[in-house]
Amino acid sequence: MRSLPLRGTAFWALIALPVISGLWLAIGVGILAALSPGYSHVSHFMSVLGAAGSPFAAWTNYAVFIPTELWFLAFLALLNARLPDRRLTRVSLILLAAYAGLLMLAAGLPCDAGCDGGDAGHSAIHIAHMIAAATAYPLALIGLFLLVLTLPRPSLLRRLALPSMAVGFGLFGAIIAVPEAQGLFQRLLEAWIYAHFIALGVHAALSLRPQ
């Protein structure tokens, strides 16, 4: 008799967890940015708020960035229990977990003030931060692509897998190619990735509904 309540909890958690994770990031960054004079959502990475010497660095890294990824990892754990146990599924979930882990690592290794690119004149911690963050996004895009391929063929997510990944890598490339708008493209990329997380959560949740 307890299976139905548990299924109901899993149904809503699959939908809610990626939404909570995304909102935690967006709202947290929005509040701290509003409290930081001179901060630009267009030209500054989100990590600038958590950079060494920033007034709200600890809040940004430990109350916003890391909890965001913990919510997401909880979603992955629940998603893992709902998806078919296949090699491709496991590989994709490992890549997505690595995405979250690298972003948590980046939060624990704050960049130098301004989070500028390049190695010249920067600390080893800054370089490690930038490498971790730059590696995380491609892993997320590849992980999403592989995970979507495990869905049934009629799935819209599966039909759009390749163009969706292309859009994601286009946004990632724009971060590098248009540094004056790197903050904007980072936010667009995060939003694009989270839209897919939410869509996957909805897909998995609907599979729990009685046929």
For 44-103, what is each residue's pLDDT tens digit?
999 999 999 999 999 999 999 999 999 999 999 999 988 888 899 999 999 999 999 999
Instruction: Examine residue 211 and state whether it is found in any structural domain, yes or no.
Output: no
Sorted by sequence, the CB contacts under 8 Å of residue 148 that are 6+ apart come out as 155, 157, 158, 161, 164, 196, 200
Q: Provide DSSP, 20-42.
A: HHHHHHHHHHHHHHHTSTT--TT
Q: Are 167 and 193 in contact (CB under 8 A)?
A: no
Q: For the chain, how many residues are written?
A: 211
Give the range of the structural domain holding residue 52, as residue numbers without chain letter: 3-206
For 127-150, what is each residue's pLDDT tens digit?
999 999 999 999 999 999 999 998
Mean pLDDT of 177-201: 97
Instruction: Examine residue 148 and state whether it is found in any structural domain, yes or no.
Output: yes
Q: Cα(80)–Cα(210) distance, rounded to whole angstroms?
A: 20
Nearest to 99 by CA among 129, 132, 77, 74: 132
E strand map for the chain: none
Domain count of the chain? 1
Instruction: Examine residue 137 and state whether it is found in any structural domain, yes or no.
Output: yes
Instruction: Examine residue 89 and state whether it is found in any structural domain, yes or no.
Output: yes
What's the whole-model pTM score?
Answer: 0.91
Instruction: Examine residue 84 and state whether it is found in any structural domain, yes or no.
Output: yes
Instruction: Examine residue 13 and state whether it is found in any structural domain, yes or no.
Output: yes
Nearest to 175 by CA among 48, 60, 42, 22: 42
Q: Cα(185)–Cα(189) distance, rounded to whole angstroms?
A: 6
